[in-house]
């Protein structure tokens, strides 16, 4: 089992950047592929990005590709989401999640076994 804690959210203006972090504890971090998801008010949770256990493979939602970068540091048990050129439509609660099929880069929420509590990102226009 793994516990996940997100941080780094906040209120920014359109065009700004933020870096989210997700710190993991418990079972060996490199046992998992990791994903970032987001949920805006009144909407379903949606996939943002995923990274496999080694960092050699990544996957992005079309809406963030070219603006967001997912990375991980297995020595620090942490996964990151660098968000550049933020838009008001990026406003949401952002969640990290762990998938114990460590090579998978799935976009489906039900494939992820563990979830953090989320961190709010608000982008003003």
pLDDT digits (tens, 9 = 90+) for 40-88: 999 999 999 999 999 999 999 999 999 999 999 999 999 999 999 999 9
Quick: pLDDT tens for 86-124.
999 999 999 999 999 999 999 999 999 999 999 999 999
Band of pLDDT at residue 26, cut at 50, 70 and 90: confident
Provide the CA 107 distance to its chain's centre, in angstroms: 11
Q: What is the phi/psi pair of residue 90, to 5°? A: -85, -5
- Tell me the pLDDT band of 35, cut-offs 50, 70 and 90: very high
- With CA atoms as reference, report the closest residue to 86 among 23, 30, 8, 29: 8
pLDDT in the model for residue 1: 87
């Amino acid at each position: 089992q793994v516990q996940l804690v997100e941080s780094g959210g906040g209120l920014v203006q359109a065009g700004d950047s933020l870096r989210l972090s997700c710190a993991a504890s418990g079972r060996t971090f490199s046992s998992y592929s990791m994903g970032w998801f987001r949920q805006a008010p009144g909407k379903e949770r949606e996939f943002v990005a995923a990274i496999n256990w080694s960092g050699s493979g990544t996957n992005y939602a079309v809406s963030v590709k070219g603006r967001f970068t997912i990375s991980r540091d297995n020595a620090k048990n942490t996964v990151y989401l660098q968000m550049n050129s933020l838009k008001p439509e990026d406003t949401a609660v952002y969640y990290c999640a762990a998938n114990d099929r460590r090579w998978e880069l799935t976009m489906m929420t039900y494939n992820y076994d563990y979830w953090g509590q989320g961190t709010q990102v608000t982008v003003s226009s």
